Structures are given as structure tokens and as C-alpha cells.
Amino acid sequence: MARRKSAPRTRRTSLHPHRRAPKSSRRRSVSARRHRRRSSRPTAKPRVRTRARAAPPRTRTKIGPRAREIDLRPIEVKWRAAWEKANVNVARADPTRPKWYTTVPYPYTNGYQHLGFATSFLRAEFQSRYRRMLGYNVLHPEAFHCTGLPILGAAKRIAEKEPKQWDILRKMGIPDRDIPKFADPMHWIEVFPEAAMEDLKGLGVAVDWTRSFITTPLNPPYDAFVRWQFHHLRDGDFVKIDKHPVIWCPKDQAPIGDHDRLEGEGETPSEYTLLKIPLADGRFLLAATIRPETVYGQTNLWVDPDASYVVAKVGEERWVLNELATRKLSEQGRTVVVESTVRGADLVGKDAVAPAINRAIPVLPGSFIDQGRGTGIVTSVPSDAPDDFVALRDLQRDDALLAKYDLDPPRIRAIKPVSIIRTPGWGPLPGVEIVERLGIRNQGDREKLEQAKAEVYRTGFYRGVLNENCGPYAGMRVEVAKDEIRKELMSKGQADSMYEPSGEVVCRCMTRAIVKVVDNQWFLGYGDPAWKAKVHEAIASMEMHPEGLRKWLDYVTDWLHDWPCTHHRGLGTILPWDSDWVIESLSDSTIYMAYYTIAHALQGGALRSQVPWAGRLDDAFFDYVFFGKGGAKTVASRLGVDAKLVEELLV
């Protein structure tokens, strides 16, 4: 077998710890050394060097008939040190100039920062520098986020010597001898925020570093700021304790927010309809769907013939579904008792009576079913589901498979899609039409099938109208009929419900997440209509670039619901009125940009505050600074500082 030709080696320019730059990048040209000897001003060293850094490429400059190499690194270091010494990026109050405040979401520091963060950051950096050139008094700070479960989980995996987590640190350039130190969560916080700051400094960004900080109780003034925020949220009735579905890690036994996820940022609990489809022996096949409005187009059921299912008693009924689904239902407050198992192959060929259409449909083999999602049983609507149409067509053409499961070929080949939805721009059978248009050959064309599914669902759901064969819902818009049909099926006992994540979610402990209905959990009431109205009003008043962002923010505001804001474990601020809970890592990060405005006085130029009195901050201090409540002298006397200092912080 021919070997691939190796790509030429390139010089490392990434800023990784414990990696020395190649010798070629450490050598300095003779001419550059002479240049430095002639310089009367010594090159200043960076304040902190956490990692060996590779030198930037040298620049050849033509001088006369000969060329010489100039090492730009010392020049860069020299002027960066000069800017830092002169505090050119430190923002100070100046009423004679217009103000400009730039913020970038502070990065999570459970590792070295990647290029995606640099890309986002530099957009803001360019804007800040441009505004300075126009004469604005610019405030551009940056901080580092450490709260939540990711660091705790990663440290635990290092302590357990999990190979994948060790390999992650190795790939960062950390030698094996140092990796055991990362079994302590505090070591992550000691290393990575400082490294992120040095990397940004290495880019030469014009940031006011006097306002930098880390989150967690390791930084007492920010910890006090979060407590103050939550006191006000509770006083405004925006924090409540309730029962609610949350994305849940079965291994960590905790809700997982976006920062706690390896995959699935932005995914939320989604309610599935469980269609109860009776067999002749009284058992119910449970088929999970997010499209109950398509029940009028059912032609068959799919089960995986190679999978194992269980018969479980739920109330007075016996449900057939996979074992994973029974565990999910148990986590959602249902009493589920598994009684026996049944092979998928033993279900193939049976008939079951489909709800809504109330007629028998066959159970057919479908090896494409994702057993990790839903119940492992799928109802088939080939008119509007490209996956179902292609699977049915493949089966109808496969004589060997029909014979293997003793299926009646004429009956199976007689199954035709049933038109149920009229959508502008589509024929009567969108699922069939798009398969033919995209040239999808079989179930192996996964990329095209995903494209087809998304397009048909999007247009059918938002623009479609149900046909005359859809009973009392004929002529109703699909997006309205969905909930109405679901309610009817539930009221007749023909359906139930189960929650799943809206998309694949993997915890940072590498466990696939589920949805759990949590009781006595603290939530932020983002679903409050009055609160949403205020947010929409604020969005309407903002200047945005690009303008399309406004519509997206309105959309996100509308779909946001109550948000679980606490964990029983993790790094973060203790919930002020209930010490059993820790505030989770997104809920402590909603107004941190306000903290930047006073951070220079509270941090003492360090990521962990070095200001003694900043460890004594209380709600009265923040009420005075941000709302003007109370008096500076009263606040100052409690803190043991000069009232003038407190007055200067008044926003």
C-alpha cells in the first residue's frame, strides 16, 4: 500500500506551555544582536511567562545591495512593555470625551484558548482601536470564567486516570509529570486564566487589564456581586423553586448548562408525544414522535429487528419500548416496572391499530432506528418523512429481507404514502418529491436525507395546511393543529409524553445526557411574559449591526423558558438563602459587564482580588454604587475605607 507523502514541517506559532520553540526560532541574527547592543533602552520582560513561546517569522528588509534579517520579537516585546508601563489602555473618567464600552463574553478557562476565541475577540479589538482613533474614551476589559462543572469534572477524570482526559492535556503540551497536578480543580484555575491573559497580551490587544478577574469564590468581590444580583432577582420574584424538566447528566447526577457540555450547546428539553398503538394481545407499542399532527398519514411501524425491547407496566397498561426509555421515564416522575424482554424480530409482522386513523398497520423491520432516542419504535409517515419513504421503498425492493421476516410481499408493496398536508410550492407528497429531486438512492445517503428532512419539516410546519382526510382538523394550519391533535390523543388515552433533549447533548464527563424532571429546583423565570416584554422593548431600542441580529434575539427571547440556575455541586457562588445549592455557570454570568465598571477598584490589578476591604462587600455597597441607594459614608464606614473612594465608584 502506497504511503501518503508527508506534509512539510512548519514552525510552531501556537502558544502552548511546556513546549520550547524550535532552535531555529530561538537563534538571533548577528545584525539583530548588533542592533540591540546599540540600543540604549533595555528590552522589558513580560510580567508573567507561563509558557515557552515560539518566535514570529523574521522579516527580510532590503538595505542597499544586501538583505538582512530583523527579529521583530524584541521590538514587539519592547513596545508592549512600554504601553503597559504608560497605562495607555487603562480607562479613566473623562467627561470631555464621548464614551465607548466594548465587551466580549469572557472565555471559559478549562484549557488553553482556541483560535475561535481569538477570532471573536479581535472583532471587538478592532472596533475599540478604531473608536480610540476617533477620540473616544474607550473601556475594553476582559475577564475569565471558571465556575460550573467542567473544571470539576475534568479534575475528577484526571484523578481517576481516565486516558482520554490525560490525552487532552498531553495534546495541550503538558508533560506527563505535570498532569497529576490537574487532579486538583484549583490548579486549573491557577494555570489557564493566567495563560489566557498572557496569550491575549501576546496578540498585543489594547485591553484594560486593571479590571480583569476570575469568577468563583476565589475572587470574593465578584462572589459578593453575584450574591447581590440573586438577592434582587428573588426580591423581584424572578427566582422560584419548582418542578421542571432539565438537561441532566446521569453520571454526575446534576443539570448541565451549556458550559457543562462537550456537545449540544443551546439544546433544551423537548416534549415528545408517545403514541400508544395496541397489539391484539393488549400490549401497547410506544412510538415517540415530535410530529403528532402527521398521525393521519401513518402507514406502518418500524422496529429494529436486532434490538431488544422490554414489556413494562405503567399504571394499568403494559408498554413495549426499549429499556433506555424506561429509565428516562423513571427520571421524569413515572413509575415504570419492567416485567420481561422481547426481541424486535418477534414484533415484526404483527399488526397494531394506529391512533387517529383507527386501522391496523403492520410492524416492519427498520435497522436505521436510533435506540438512544425516543422509545426505539417509530411510526411511519412516508408522505412527509423522507426517511420513512426511503426505508419503505428499500424494503419493498428487497425480496430477501421480506422473506427473512416472512412478510407478505404483495401487501408490503401495496403500501403507499397518504397525502395529508398541502404546502405552497410542494406537490401532495413532499417526502416523496424531495427524495426524487435530490436523487436519494437508499438509506445510506444520510447527508441528503438530513437535508431533505429539514427542508420538508420547516416548510410543512410553518406553511402547511391539513387536508380533508384529517378529520376535524382539515383546513387547519399545521403549526396550530400540532398541539390540538396532541391534546385530543392525550385526552382519549391514545398518547402520553416523554422529554428528550432537542438535539444530541454530551456532558463534559463524556456521558450522553437525558432529560430529568427535577423537583425542588431553583429556576430563573425567563418564561415570564412581563419580563419578556421588557426584553423585547430593550431589543427594539438598540442599534444593531447586522440588523438581522434583532430578529434572532427576539426569537431566542420568545423560546426561552424557566432556566435551572443551581447545582448541588460544582465551582461557583453559594445560593445566598439556600446553602445546599451552587449558582450555575451561566446564571452567574448575565450582568458581569456591570462589574467591569468598578473592578479596577476591587481587584487591585490581580485576577484574584488583592484589596483587603473588597472581601467585606455587602448588598448595600452594590446598591449604592449601581442604584445610588443609601449614603457613601455609611457604606464606607462598614467597609473601613474613605467615603471618597466609594463616591468615585458611583455609576
C-alpha cell at 226: 453575584
Q: Please tell me the predicted confidence (pLDDT) of residue 252.
A: 82
What are phi and psi for residue 128, nearest 5 degrees? -65, -45
Q: Please tell me the predicted confidence (pLDDT) of residue 65.
A: 55
Q: 429-486 pLDDT, tens per residue?
A: 999 999 999 999 999 999 999 999 999 998 999 999 999 999 999 999 999 999 999 9
Q: Is the pLDDT of residue 505 over 90?
A: yes
Euclidean distance between CA atoms 524 and 528, whole angstroms: 9
What's the one-letter identity of residue 297? G
> SS3 of 220, please?
helix
Q: Which residues contact 603 (CB under 8 A, 6 or more apart)?
A: 210, 211, 212, 213, 219, 221, 609, 610, 611, 614
> SS3 of 265, please?
coil
Q: 514-559 pLDDT, tens per residue?
A: 999 988 889 999 999 999 999 999 999 999 989 999 999 999 999 8
Q: Is the pLDDT of residue 362 over 90?
A: yes
What's the one-letter identity of residue 470? C
Centre a 10 Å sphere on the Cβ of residue 534 and count the other Cβ atoms it contains.
Answer: 11
Q: How confident is the model over 144-150, as a mean pLDDT?
A: 91
Q: Domains plus CATH for the chain?
A: 12-83 (no CATH), 269-499 (3.90.740.10)
Task: Give the residue from 69, 54, 56 showing the smallest Cα distance to 16.
Answer: 54
What's the one-letter identity of residue 191? V
Task: Give the residue from 408, 407, 455, 411 showing the smallest Cα distance to 431.
Answer: 455
Give the pLDDT band of residue 262 (cuts 50, 70, 90).
confident
Q: Is the pLDDT of residue 384 over 60?
A: yes
Q: Please tell me the predicted confidence (pLDDT) of residue 64.
A: 55
Q: 311-344 pLDDT, tens per residue?
A: 999 999 999 999 999 999 999 999 999 999 999 9
> SS3 of 11, please?
coil
Q: How confident is the model over 182-190, as a mean pLDDT?
A: 97
Q: 555-606 pLDDT, tens per residue?
A: 999 988 888 899 888 899 999 999 999 999 999 999 999 999 999 999 999 9
On the question of a cis peptide bond just before residue 546, with omega within 30 degrees of 0, the verdict is yes
- Comparing 205-214, 244-253, 611-620, the range with the smallest average pLDDT is 244-253
Q: Which residues contact 502 (CB under 8 A, 6 or more apart)?
A: 267, 268, 269, 270
Task: Give the residue from 308, 307, 362, 313 showing the smallest Cα distance to 336.
Answer: 313
DSSP state of 42: P
